Structure 1
Amino acid sequence: MTRLRPTGRRPALAGLLQSPLLPPGRPLWRVSQLLVGLVLYGVSDAMVVVSGLGVEPWDALSQGLSRTVGLTIGIWTNLIGAAVLLLWIPLRQKPGLGTLCNVLIVGTSMDVTLALVAGPDALWLRWTLLIAGIVLNGFATGCYLGAQAGPGPRDGLMTGLASRGHRLWAVRWGIELTVLAIGFLLSATIGIGTLLYAFGIGPLVNFFIPLLDMDRRKRSSARQ
Structure 2
Amino acid sequence: MPDGGRGASAIACHAGDVTYSARQIVMLLCGCVVLGIGVGMFLTADLGSDGYSTLVNGIAISTGLAFWIANLLVGIALVTMAAARRVRPGLGTVVQVVLVGLTVTATLDVLSTPDPLVWRVLLLAAAFPVLAVGVAVYLGSHTGAGPAEAAALAWDPPIAFKWSYSAVQGGGALVGWLLGATIGPGTIAVIVLLGPAVDLASRVLRVDVHQDEPAAAQ
Count of residues in correspondence between the two structures: 198
Letter in 1 for 2:107: T
What is the alpha-carbon distance in structure 1 between the residues aligned to residue 186 and residue 48 of structure 2?
4
Q: Displacement of 1:16 after TM fit?
A: 5.1
Conserved 8 A contact 2:58-2:180 = yes
Q: Structure 1 residues 122, 115: CA separation in 2 closer, same or farther (over 3 Å shift)? A: same
Once residues 85 and 142 of structure 1 are traced to their aligned partners in structure 2, the CA distance between those partners, rounded to angstroms, is: 18
The aligned residue for residue 159 of structure 2 is 167
Q: Contact conserved, 1:98 with 1:149, CA < 8 A, in 2?
A: yes
TM-score relative to the length of structure 1: 0.71
Give the TM-score of the pair, scaled to structure 2. Answer: 0.72
Tell whether 2:41 aligns with 1:51.
no
CA contact (8 A) 2:92 2:143 kept: yes
What code does the residue aligned with 1:155 have?
E
Aligned-partner Cα distance in 2 for 1:130–1:188: 20
Asked if 1:204 is matched to 2:200, the reply is: no
Say whether 1:190 aligns with 2:183.
yes
Unaligned ranges ≥5, structure 2:
1-8, 209-218
Structure 1 position 162, deviation (Å): 4.8
Question: SS at the partner of 2:113?
Answer: coil
Q: Is the 8 A contact 2:136 2:207 kept in 1?
A: no
Q: What's the CA shift string for 1:81-110, capped at 9, x where partnerless?
A: 334223344334322322221232222322
Q: Aligned partners of 1:66, 1:46: CA distance in 2, in Å? A: 21
Contact 2:151–2:168 (8 Å) recurs in 1: no
Structure having the higher helix fraction is 1
Q: Does 1:143 align with 2:124?
A: no
Q: Is the 8 A contact 2:169 2:191 kept in 1?
A: no
Q: Which runs of 4+ in 1 moved over 6 A?
A: none
The Cα shift of 1:14 comes to 5.8
Superposed displacement of residue 37, structure 1? 0.8
- Aligned with 1:87: secondary structure? helix
Which residue matches 1:17? 13
Once residues 43 and 66 of structure 1 are traced to their aligned partners in structure 2, the CA distance between those partners, rounded to angstroms, is 24
Cα contact 2:169–2:190 (8 A) shared by 1: no
AA in 2 matched with 1:159? L
Residue number in structure 2 paired with 1:95 = 89
Q: Percent identity, please.
A: 27
Q: Deviations over 1:35-60 (max 9, x none)?
A: 11112212211221221212221122
2:33–2:99 contact (8 Å) kept in structure 1: yes
